[in-house]
A and B are shown apart, each in its own frame.
Chain A
């Protein structure tokens, strides 16, 4: 289905297709299955027009145009993969390879971290051409525990700066200097913790080269096994951000936001993004504890512990009535546990005194 007969249309690689007024050429083309390369593009952000990889040929135009910023015009004839634009894309990719320390980055670095590598492969751009000085200066001095600032691999697409401003509204980072010397920075070249940064991690997850990395996840890079992604909802608060939990075997190795999460569209906060260490923390209880006559906690079996708990709850209910019981589920508990908890309080005790710390 590519025409509707009445609405406006463009000719896309020889095929007449419909577009919605206001739609960009890139959006229309992508919707019709074209795989136009981009690196500065993030569908959540205002079109920027920086990477120029998305250039397409438009009949009548002197030079190729950036499809991410060009709006569809009725009758426009667009070629998305002509030899001419493919030559430019390859040259641009070779130029990018020449300015960075490395092209391969660990997949745990971030959600978008493989974008550049994939395009380098697609355009066979590891030719070693265009050698010269490398751009960007990494900030290993930044002591924050969450975000790796490895700007030796930065290509100045400014997705981090733009997501921070346009999505998160923090304006914590910006562009310093000009041209080849541009550098992503906070005010006065300081550290993230002294800036307006809230460590939401959105800059990390949209970085297409691994210049920004998820230090929490990267700490698990040596855990063996295939990375499995499990879609779930962050339990920390009531917003309902969709996340993908990354696991290898039985180890939770990271969290990535779901770009298609209806509530968050790729956004997370510092807790949802980075605060998962408790799951496999050594301090975590591994067995029931029961307080003895000596006032200390002692390891106990499940039967003993459950009996003691039931006994205590029943005593309270008998003495003070069913509404004397109040259940608060933890935001760190799985959703299934939270569900069971409310069943238990409502059905078991017959009270609606149930809450969750996530509601706060």
Chain B
């Protein structure tokens, strides 16, 4: 395609910048200066602004051949599975490391061009589908995984065979939008991307907000290290996401939807595109959903490598072609979202729960939880555990049972030293706190949070200071640079955990790390900066001896303490 053809293809579409950039990126194998100039002119974006925005995304290559250079996942789990050896072996091919790319149950993923390869050494990298969620013992308490393991479920025929689109059909034909919201409200469904905001309340706010067109945005920018549930849901149940989005559109009066998909899931984009095509052909998407006259269109927008774009307001700025800094809130996206218009932003898992709730009822969903908690939560379990994978647990399920009964416990001869919560954002739980139940109140009482449900396991062979360093390095790499406490704080904490800078006396070291963390937690502008210090906080709480050894060892180094 010529420059002009690419621009003409997307220019009149909503949110055109990312698809235009991806088209140039795919055509040329990188984003050339000429391409960037053409996009600036074609979409009327100031050149410096566009250049700055492109540099924000780490997967846009800016040297020839960059797209085809291997990018090796160096996330916390993959590093323990030999990622650094793979990276070294592929160095002659121009390999670089990339943050966790969301396949921790099947290490080590390597992205090359538009393909994901996976393997435990450079020699055995193969393309293979991401793993299906392993079967669970309490299958009857599942919601989003209830039918996902059925063969052919990702196709429209398979999805319908398993009861798909029946809930939506009933909703659009028999229920008013207000009744749909009422049903979601009663189910107790809350944001499964980590924030836990009641979904029904969010939908009602958008339904009641002034301004059109309204939008439904599916947040599929699953960037949290150790989280890979949304990939499984989209790969094996794409129609559930589509059905949930249409239902959300119907309930709120939105006629357009966007799936903001993280860059690292190239195969998922094809699966989603195919499912959308099938749904359009069957009259489920388009000008008249199931013949009701309700119109709903769905677009995929692919990210380009930036964890912060999973923060909903950064995501919206990214879609709008702006520099993806988080926005100041209020106003919230429910009134000022995409293009400053009312917008639902829901996580994949949240939206994929909706069809099941519509089909089986709010009371059924609410009843899936334990100890008074509603519904379920998918946990992405990885690391030093016998059977890693995505497990859908009832809210309130004991962590211990998940780790030992469902996932087989630690490897032979090992014990579990610590687990992370919320991927990395919740920091570590260890010791007695491993006997927590998986629900927000219980986990928050232990100064952590469940978040998106990523749990990485570290056994007694692991150096927790090194693990904490890798975690903080990730946050520093992904800090957007907007607010001072996060931009400087993640850097300073990383340096201290690496032993590169900081006081060589333990008391002063702990003071500095605690002071930085306190100010980050209380003054950062978004969740990245407020969550990152949970890593150091929990490290110092559970592993004071390891911290002491670390500081003492580095205190002996000639440069320590002098930056």
Contact = CB atoms under 8 A, between A and B. Distances in A.
A257 interface: no
Contact of A186 (B48, B480, B502): B48
Interface in B505-563: 512, 515-516, 518-519, 521-525, 530, 561-563
Interface string B33-56: 100100000000011111111011
A131 B525 contact: no
A130 B181 CA distance: 50
A95 B492 contact: yes
Contacts, number: 163
B484 A131 contact: no
A227 interface: no
A178 B480 CA distance: 5
A174 B491 contact: no
A64 B488 contact: no
A31 interface: no
B328 A69 contact: yes
Given A131-B502, A186-B51, 20 more contacts: A49-B482, A49-B483, A50-B484, A63-B523, A84-B522, A91-B519, A92-B519, A95-B484, A95-B488, A99-B488, A129-B515, A130-B492, A156-B487, A171-B49, A174-B52, A177-B56, A178-B478, A179-B477, A187-B51, A188-B33
Interface in B462-492: 476-492
B562 to A, nearest CB: 7
B323 interface: yes
A155 interface: yes
Interface string A143-187: 000000000000110000000010000011111111111100111
A133 to B, nearest CB: 7
A47 B512 CA distance: 30
Indicate the size class of the contact surface on chain B.
35 or more
B276 interface: no
Contacts of A172: 46, 48
B336 to A, nearest CB: 13
Contacts of B525: 49-50, 52, 66
Contacts of A185: 48, 51-52
Contacts of A135: 487-488, 491
Contact of A174 (B48, B500, B561): B48
Given A176-B55, A185-B51, A92 B523 contact: yes
**Which of B48, B306, B477, B489 is packed against the most chain A CB atoms within 10 Å?**
B48
Contact of B306 (A99, A178, A187, A196): A178
B485 A52 contact: yes
B523 A179 contact: no
B501 interface: yes
Question: Ordered nearest first, which 5 A-B pairs have the shortest CB separation?
Answer: A174-B52, A171-B46, A131-B563, A179-B479, A182-B481
A157 B243 CA distance: 43
27 contacts: A39-B484, A51-B483, A51-B484, A52-B483, A52-B484, A63-B521, A66-B525, A69-B328, A88-B522, A91-B516, A92-B519, A129-B515, A133-B501, A156-B481, A174-B46, A174-B51, A174-B53, A175-B52, A175-B56, A178-B480, A179-B486, A180-B490, A185-B48, A185-B51, A186-B51, A188-B33, A188-B36
A132 interface: yes
Contacts of A55: 522-523
A217 B530 CA distance: 42
B485 A130 contact: no
Contacts of A181: 481
